């Protein structure tokens, strides 16, 4: 039942129910991006599920459908500097809150993927594995992932030596080797293991940061 949580919320008088999810908690570089989506009551978008279970092509197609059919879509972001400042959990919650605040019309109920609720004045419910249990959270997971991937592809043009377009900032073998070779760049998360070991470490002789 993809709408069981949405129906539960509406049965309690909430009409504009938003699903909220994030992408990018685990990477060594780049922002954490959150999305909030309000779908029309009862709408089912075929194939919509947790973004991690979809191919890039499927996510893009579903992203376009969500953007077309949703009553509202909001996006929030916390960059790598914010992640380092407040830690990844708090940065994620800030991004989620901003995504919900960027919805128009404003929601009167949030369904949030995970264990944590937000600094939010209205009704809300955290749902473990919500990205597979709630259709609106699934929609948010797709919007967040596609939005973040596009950001990482743009960062790959600025910092081509790291291959962000391939691994999207996650700790692949290729990415870790690039950090070892070139040192971190400004969009790396300096407090994360795999990056912090190289903060302030001189580059190997003859290596150019932008080679």
DSSP class of 206: T
Residue 34, φ and ψ in degrees, nearest 5: -120, 155
Fold of 4-148: Nucleotidyltransferase; domain 5 (3.30.420)
3 pLDDT more than 90: no
Over the stretch 114-165, which tens digit does the pLDDT of each residue have? Answer: 999 999 999 999 999 999 899 999 999 999 999 999 999 999 999 999 999 9
**The length of the chain, given as a count of residues:** 211
Instruction: Tell me whether residue 155 is exposed, middle or buried, using C-beta atoms within 10 angstroms of its C-beta: 0 to 12, 13 to 18, 19 or more.
Output: buried
Question: Would you place residue 2 in the very low, low, confident or very high pLDDT band (cuts 50, 70, 90)?
Answer: low
Could you give the CA distance from residue 19 to residue 74 in angstroms, rounded to a whole number? 10
Could you give the CA distance from residue 113 to residue 187 in angstroms, rounded to a whole number? 26
211 pLDDT more than 50: no
The predicted model gives 32-48 an average pLDDT of 95
Three-state secondary-structure class, residue 95: helix
Q: For 34, how many CA atoms within 13 A lie in the half-sphere containing its CB?
A: 29
pTM of the model: 0.92
99 near 35, Cβ under 8 Å? yes
Over the stretch 52-81, which tens digit does the pLDDT of each residue have? Answer: 899 999 999 999 999 999 999 999 999 999
Over the stretch 186-207, which tens digit does the pLDDT of each residue have? Answer: 999 999 999 999 997 665 443 3
Q: What is the pLDDT of residue 4?
A: 85
Q: What is the pLDDT of residue 50?
A: 84
Per cent of the chain over pLDDT 70 is 93
Q: What is the pLDDT of residue 210?
A: 32
Q: What is the pLDDT of residue 200?
A: 79
End-to-end CA distance of the chain: 52
Domain with CATH 3.30.420.10 in the chain: 4-148
Q: What is the DSSP string of 96-147?
A: HHHHHHT-SSPPSEEEEESS---S-SSEEEEETTHHHH-HHHHHHHHHHHHH
208 vs 104, more confident: 104
Strand order in the sheet with 17-23: 72-78, 32-38, 17-23, 109-113, 123-127
Per cent of the chain over pLDDT 90 is 89
Q: Residue 95: which of 51, 65, 140, 132 has the closest Cα?
A: 140
């Amino acid at each position: 039942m993809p709408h069981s949580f949405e129906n539960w919320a509406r049965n309690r008088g909430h009409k504009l129910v938003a699903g909220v999810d994030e992408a990018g908690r685990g990477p060594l570089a780049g922002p954490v991006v959150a999305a909030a989506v309000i779908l029309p009551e009862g709408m089912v978008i075929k194939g919509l599920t947790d973004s991690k279970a979809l191919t890039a092509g499927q996510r893009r197609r579903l992203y376009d459908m969500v953007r077309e059919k949703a009553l509202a879509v909001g996006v929030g972001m916390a960059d790598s500097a914010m992640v380092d400042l407040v830690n990844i959990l708090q940065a994620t919650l800030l991004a989620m809150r901003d995504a919900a605040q960027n919805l128009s019309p404003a929601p009167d109920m949030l369904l949030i993927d995970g264990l944590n609720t937000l600094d939010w004045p209205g009704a809300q419910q955290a749902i473990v594995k919500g990205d597979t249990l709630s259709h609106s959270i699934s929609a948010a997971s797709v919007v967040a992932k596609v939005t973040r991937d596009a950001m990482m592809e743009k960062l790959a043009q600025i910092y081509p030596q790291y291959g962000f377009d391939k691994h999207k900032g996650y700790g692949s073998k290729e990415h870790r080797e690039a950090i070892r070779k070139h040192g971190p760049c400004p969009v790396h998360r300096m407090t994360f293991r795999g990056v912090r070991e190289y903060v302030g470490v001189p580059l190997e002789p003859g290596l150019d940061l932008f080679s």
